[in-house]
A and B are shown apart, each in its own frame.
Chain A
């Protein structure tokens, strides 16, 4: 299962928030897409970047490292990262890894945008 090498993470903008629709598989194959999406959102000047996990089926430790990397950049840039649409299992992983301590997790995109406002 050589996962889609051209994983994409399109960026949408809603109410001043950059919404990144994450690919189904967040591991080394998503590195380019994720870092690119953050750069796009940063260029756009968005203060908040919402990572939309609703389409994510698989998240590996490499994927966690990618998210940590983005979170580190966002902290340096004074930008806020939030997350939405995590499955129960990955929500648990965000708690175990304590990523949840550094990014607000919302049930879904609408809740996140409401909360971010």
Chain B
């Protein structure tokens, strides 16, 4: 409140040295230019002002008040409190009268009337200023967040590796504040694959920069050293020299040989990955200090094997440490149980996120970054699926064409006949537009996730948005006559078109996501010449 008084004086004090006052009594005008007087919150004079007794003659006050002394020494004779809705918002300070006489009862009445009328206007001006300051602060914050987000997005993989006989899926979503989660895939000699999941302490730009550094060092050391323990030890020493104090990085690094499923891993204080083997879910244990905490650390190396049908889930604490409205934690046991019950790949990720949302409730504000990476080995005799392309595009109008073009170039090698190729393109652009407009409501911060896979029998384009919780309506045949009569809006062709362009359309809605799978059969039995059986 006291600072409001200052604001008031700065904003309106200038008016009192109007030209007339200045020319006629320059010495007195200067009185009004004295610097703002700070009034402590416990100063007894505040009670006087609040009492609502109107103008206060400063010289008549017998109070042990620093503010009164300051007002006196500034030459203030009369103070009229400005009160708005019971709150003291400023003071009208007057020096000596030009005539050197005391202020009369009429003067006081006039001043009190003026104060009563000026108060609401002053309050409005103060609120506008506060609002402006708040907007500026918010803009600065969101600018910083955008930078952090940009760094993070830049350093997260744009796609997942395509390993025959394996299904790799990844999910990352930043918390509002943007934490320091990261994951990565590194191609290693002899066809091996490096898998990384990590978490930098802290948030925002500093965490994003440390994350970017860690990732770069890992990327440069991993192919040379390969052995996970040695890689983490090297990265730890490197980070120790550069990392800001009180910051460190937890990181799990695993090397997979896709040929036989053998996995060698080391852990720098990160959450333990889960492995599902049949009905059993186990944690892969390995201990080690976080990176950047202290130099000269050694990291144990452990081994595991992922057999046919096995799944490994690497994650950060964003899920397990999420809270429900009663502050109960989601917890690792719950995660472990779910991993045992769910499918693999995106199905597993969606299932986990769905349960998380059911647990936290709809009003939950994500507390920390969420990262999930799953690697599933195909069961014996299972059909192998190849990922042709996986990417994300921001939800901006026009990106439906980008998505269409990117998918089109990735499926060219599949050799669809030109007619079916064009149909798929139309279906993809329509599904992408629905994801951008309806799913993500044109929020450019929300990505549209696209994954193109093929098996021996199907080509599948999967398009995922964040519009979960609302069902995608069943595609209906639009009533063209009604539209032409003006009885219905001309729009509403998207889903109908998609359905007629592809051999199959599979829609899936979870609490968080919509996904639509556009399926083109490759076995030549269906749709090879026409494709629409509607």
On whether the two chains bind one another, the answer is: yes
Contact A62 B485 (CB under 8 A): no
Contact pick for B492, options A65, A98, A102, CB 8 Å: A65
Residues of chain A within 8 A (CB-CB) of B429 are: 58, 60
Contact A97 B426 (CB under 8 A): no
Contact A68 B401 (CB under 8 A): no
* Bound CA–CA A25/B500 (angstroms): 21
Stretch of A14-22, A38-46, A69-77, A105-113 with 4 or more beta carbons under 8 angstroms from chain B: A69-77
Residues of chain B within 8 A (CB-CB) of A1 are: 398-399, 401-402, 405
Contact B433 A97 (CB under 8 A): no
Contact B490 A98 (CB under 8 A): no
Size category of the A interface is 20 to 34
Determine whether A117 belongs to the interface, using a CB cutoff of 8 Å to chain B.
no
State whether A97 and B397 are in contact (beta carbons under 8 Å apart), knowing that A1-B402, A60-B429, A88-B419 are contacts in the complex.
Answer: no
State whether A64 and B493 are in contact (beta carbons under 8 Å apart), knowing that A72-B484, A98-B480, A102-B480 are contacts in the complex.
Answer: yes
Question: Within residues 57 to 99 of chain A, which ones have a CB less than 8 A from any CB in chain B?
Answer: 58, 60-62, 64-66, 68-69, 71-72, 75-76, 87-89, 92-93, 96-99
Determine whether B140 belongs to the interface, using a CB cutoff of 8 Å to chain A.
no
Contact A72 B430 (CB under 8 A): no
Question: What string of 1s and 0s marks CB contacts (under 8 Å) between B479-502 and chain A?
Answer: 010011110011111101100100
* Bound CA–CA A36/B398 (angstroms): 22
* A76 shortest CB reach to chain B, Å: 7
* Bound CA–CA A115/B141 (angstroms): 64
State whether A97 and B480 are in contact (beta carbons under 8 Å apart), knowing that A65-B493, A68-B490 are contacts in the complex.
Answer: yes
Determine whether B422 belongs to the interface, using a CB cutoff of 8 Å to chain A.
yes
Determine whether A104 belongs to the interface, using a CB cutoff of 8 Å to chain B.
no
Return the chain A residue nearest B433 by Cβ.
Answer: A60
Determine whether A54 belongs to the interface, using a CB cutoff of 8 Å to chain B.
no
State whether A61 and B493 are in contact (beta carbons under 8 Å apart), knowing that A68-B484, A71-B484, A75-B484 are contacts in the complex.
Answer: yes
Size category of the B interface is 20 to 34
Contact pick for A60, options B430, B496, B534, CB 8 Å: B430
Contact B480 A61 (CB under 8 A): no
Question: Within residues 389 to 423 of chain B, which ones have a CB less than 8 A from any CB in chain A?
Answer: 396-402, 405, 419, 422-423
Residues of chain A within 8 A (CB-CB) of B478 are: 97
* Bound CA–CA A29/B350 (angstroms): 35
Q: Main SS of chain B's interface residues?
A: helix
* B384 shortest CB reach to chain A, Å: 32
Residues of chain A within 8 A (CB-CB) of B483 are: 68, 72
Return the chain A residue nearest B403 by Cβ.
Answer: A1
Question: What string of 1s and 0s marks CB contacts (under 8 Å) between B426-467 and chain A?
Answer: 100110010000000000000000000000000000000000
* A71 shortest CB reach to chain B, Å: 6
Determine whether B532 belongs to the interface, using a CB cutoff of 8 Å to chain A.
yes
Residues of chain A within 8 A (CB-CB) of B433 are: 60-62
* Bound CA–CA A96/B532 (angstroms): 9
Residues of chain B within 8 A (CB-CB) of A88 are: 419, 422
* Bound CA–CA A75/B490 (angstroms): 14
Contact pick for B500, options A75, A76, A96, CB 8 Å: A96
Q: B: which residues have CB within 8 A of A?
A: 396-402, 405, 419, 422-423, 426, 429-430, 433, 478, 480, 483-486, 489-494, 496-497, 500, 532, 534
What 4 pairs between A and B have smallest CB-CB spacing?
A61-B493, A89-B422, A68-B490, A65-B490
Q: A: which residues have CB within 8 A of B?
A: 1-3, 25, 28-29, 58, 60-62, 64-66, 68-69, 71-72, 75-76, 87-89, 92-93, 96-99, 101-102
20 further contact pairs, Cβ within 8 A, besides A61-B493, A96-B532: A2-B397, A2-B398, A3-B401, A28-B397, A58-B401, A60-B430, A61-B433, A61-B491, A61-B497, A62-B433, A64-B493, A65-B490, A66-B490, A68-B480, A68-B484, A71-B484, A72-B483, A88-B419, A96-B497, A102-B484
